[in-house]
Amino acid sequence: HDQQRRRESHHVEGMAVLRDPHRIVSVHRRCADSPHLRLSLRRRHHRRRSRRTQVGVHAVRSIRASARARRPDRDSAQVAMLGHKQVRLATFGNRDCPLLPVTGSVRSGKTWAATRGVWQKAARMGRGLNIGLIARSRANMTGTLERYAVGWAAELRLPYKSSADFFTLPSRLGGHNRFWRVVLGEGSKSAADRITGVGFDMIYIDELTLCPREMFDIANQRLLDAKDPRLIGTTNPSGPQHWVKTDLIDRIDEGELHGETMTFRLIDNPVMVSSPAKLAIVREMARRMTQVEYDRKILARWVAAEGLVHPHVHYEYPPPGRAHDYAVALDYGQGTVTHALLIGVYDTHAHVEAEWRWDAAEKGQISHAEAAQLIHEWGTREAGRNIALWVVPDDAQAFAECLAGVIGQSDREPGDVIEAVKDLDYGIEIVNYMSELDTPELRVSAECEDLARELGRYEYDKTQAMAGKQTPNKKSAGGAHGCDAFRYGAVAVWQQWTGMTA
């Protein structure tokens, strides 16, 4: 009797994701010879059930509830129109795939389907489990991942309970599972330290290409003791040399790692191609894209970049009032050009508010001590403005020591002189991600004319792009000293928000 009941429960849960109002995709067809799996939904609805079948029963109810919702929202629209790729991703728990990197274009339905699979796999795995949810920021966590969890629980009429560090959803076997929030954007404590002491049974990573390799390796290690470990990550494509592509996706495809890969194009999402109006939106969005953006964001291809290195810089004047923190990032060249940028850190974004530039060819060469004194005076010129971070490249140690001495002698609050991260691909990825958001997290004041001129000329090397490599051509931007300082500052702010290194 217990075995029969488990088979019925598995069948009902499977139908929770295999559904389409126009074409009911049922497990009946695959198990037509089994009388246990041909019980009608109506009979099952009126039967008394044990706690262990509760999640599956509510999953069947959600099919009809979504279809007859009077005011369907975006989630219910996606429930009603599932493509075969969304179905396969949402049922990853039925397959043996401990690693599942999912590449997809924007709005392709990959995140929705992946999280839906996480909730359902966790409900069937057991009780008292720990599932890690890794997101780039608190907004990503609450606005996307938790919103999907709340919607899924509401469809099934399941209790959703939230605490400071995790939220819980019920298990099919009774009890609850914990879904731990691991937010890279909370700079108060390293996200890596936050999960080091917890053994996880499953981990989901949002925006995998923006997750530092260190964090991915630690997350993978935390699954070593799990009986059925699962690590799922969704991401937009990047360059073909990104570690997610070379060390994860390619190795899985070649059989070196045990797992499965999936790719979603925009047209794979039935919601986005369901009406002429939505198709018009897609066409307009594609029309404004460069070829590389079209390949990555529409076709989900890992292609080398070409054209401008930073094509989506957002220029606007800083908001009124003072930022709650300031940083100065610079590219130092004693015999060439020194370009420093003042970055204000606000609650919602970082803003390059001013610049300082010294061209030794035009103004003459100055000593390390003189440069340190001039930059410190410029950065702290406004009364009450204290610089929390001074970001200096590692090849300017003599200057950094002079700057630290000037800061120590100042009557202002001392700031930290930190070493700039010079990983070029990582820095470009961070800058472009922060700039491309609907509400950009990285902006530049229109008064920074020298920086704006460099950014408008900073392009990828066309010869290298033909060879599949994305290498910026610094000569196109006159040495790109301001672009380097821009990248150093953005990565420093990002790391303060995330608490993670490259």
Domain ranges of the chain: 74-273, 314-498
The two structure tokens encoding residue 369? 């001590």
User: pLDDT band at 499, cuts 50/70/90?
Assistant: low
Distant-in-sequence, close-in-space partners of 131: CB < 8 Å, separation ≥ 6: 118, 122, 177, 178, 179, 180, 200, 201, 202, 203, 204
Q: Which amino acid is at 342?
A: L
Q: What is the pLDDT of residues 327-379, one digit of tens each?
A: 999 999 999 999 999 999 998 899 999 999 999 999 999 999 999 999 999 99
User: CA dist 157 to 65, 72, 173, Å?
Assistant: 11, 17, 17
The helix/strand/coil state of 293 is helix
DSSP-derived letter for residue 393 is: -
Instruction: Decide if pLDDT at 169 tops 80.
Output: yes
The topology under which CATH files domain 314-498 is: Nucleotidyltransferase; domain 5 (3.30.420)
In angstroms, rounded to a whole number, what is the distance separating the alpha carbons of residues 469 and 459? 13
| Mean local confidence (pLDDT), 145-173 | 92
498 vs 209 pLDDT, higher one: 209
- Intrachain domains 74-273 and 314-498 with the same fold: no
Contact 208, 77 (CB under 8 A): no
Angle of the 481-498 helix axis to the 424-436 helix axis, nearest 10: 80
Q: Which amino acid is at 68?
A: R
414 vs 185 pLDDT, higher one: 414
194 vs 136 pLDDT, higher one: 136
> What's the CATH number for 74-273?
3.40.50.300
The two structure tokens encoding residue 440? 């950009």
The mean of the pLDDT values for the chain is: 81
Q: What is the pLDDT of residues 83-93, one digit of tens each?
A: 889 999 999 98
pLDDT score at 468: 66
pLDDT score at 493: 92
The DSSP secondary structure of 213-275, one letter per residue, reads HHHHHHHHHTTTT-SS-EEEEEE----TTSHIIIIIIHHHHTTSSS---EEE-GGG-GGGGSS
